[in-house]
Structure 1
Amino acid sequence: MNSELVTLAQSASVTLVGLMATDAWERTRDGVVALWQRARPERADAVAAELSNTREDLAADAGSEGELAAEWQGRIRRLLIDRPQVAEELQRLLDELSPSATAPPATVSQRATATGHSRVYQAGRDQHITER
């Protein structure tokens, strides 16, 4: 198997497991099951059940994310070995599911007024203040 397909399988598995606990899960699950339905229709129902089981396992033990991703990497790798033509479709699915495609653009608007000897500290993310 060429290294591009191995990398694709790894990326897909990490993305898949990472999206299990997000609002994009249903769309992710539907896309993965549809992919299997087209490539290996006899396995599509089993894959749907395995996805549900994996999501339950992740909810029960968030620390198992790496292990679960490795399991899905194997499944996806085997699919790509068996049906290499699926790689383009899988990549399109990953592109659609990428955080930049699924998340609304972040907007931060801040306003502050300081009077007298007061100070204002604002941050759009993490802020660490160390003053004495």
Structure 2
Amino acid sequence: MDPIVLAAGTALVSAMAVDSWQQVKTATTALWQRLRPEQADEITAELETLRAGVLDAREQQDHDTEEALTWVWRLRLQQLLVNEPSAVGELRRLLEEHLAPALPPDERRGVQSIVMKAEARDHGRVYMAGRDQHITDS
């Protein structure tokens, strides 16, 4: 699954529980309106239904249900990109400009997306890490 999809799905579901939810919902619906206008009303309704589920799951401290709802939206977003591969930039923009900023700082760290590319030639080596890295080669 695309790393942007993972991050955006997580951020979207987490943002369902924040005060600025209306702005997040508007931005998310606008994405569908641009890419799949025939699905925009359905998406808006689904967002509201899932928001109620997220709020209930958080109230009950039901992490499994919240994780399941996160996967529902990850799959939705993945399907959007399958149908509209060129939309990855728009999804990244939604994540960076609307979803992540809506989250409390401690939740923002969980939705960062890291994209790394490397190429080694001849006898070259590549060491990549999203965080700490300890190399013990000699």
CA contact (8 A) 2:15 2:21 kept: yes
Distance 1:93 1:34, change over 3 A: same
Aligned length: 100
Work out which of the two has the higher radius of gyration on C-alpha atoms and give 1 or 2. Answer: 1
Match of 2:45 in 1: 49
CA contact (8 A) 2:54 2:66 kept: yes
Aligned residues: percent identity?
36
Match of 1:25 in 2: 21
How far the C-alpha of 1:92 sits from its partner, in A, is 0.9
TM score, norm. by length of structure 1 = 0.69
Looking at structure 2, the residues matched to 30 and 8 of structure 1 have their Cα atoms a distance apart, in angstroms, of 19
Describe how 1:1-132 pairs up with structure 2 within 5 A: 6-62=2-58, 63=62, 64-97=65-98, 99=100, 101-102=101-102
Give CA deviations for 1:61-81 in whole Å, capped at 9, x if unaligned: 222211100000000000001
CA contact (8 A) 2:24 2:99 kept: no
CA contact (8 A) 2:8 2:99 kept: no
* Structure 2 residues not aligned, in runs of 5+: 106-138
* Structure 1 residues not aligned, in runs of 5+: 106-132
Runs ≥4 in structure 1, deviation > 4 angstroms?
Answer: 102-105
Looking at structure 1, the residues matched to 102 and 44 of structure 2 have their Cα atoms a distance apart, in angstroms, of 22
Looking at structure 2, the residues matched to 46 and 104 of structure 1 have their Cα atoms a distance apart, in angstroms, of 28
RMSD: 2.0
How far the C-alpha of 1:24 sits from its partner, in A, is 2.1
Relative contact order higher in (CA < 8 Å, ≥ 6 apart): 2
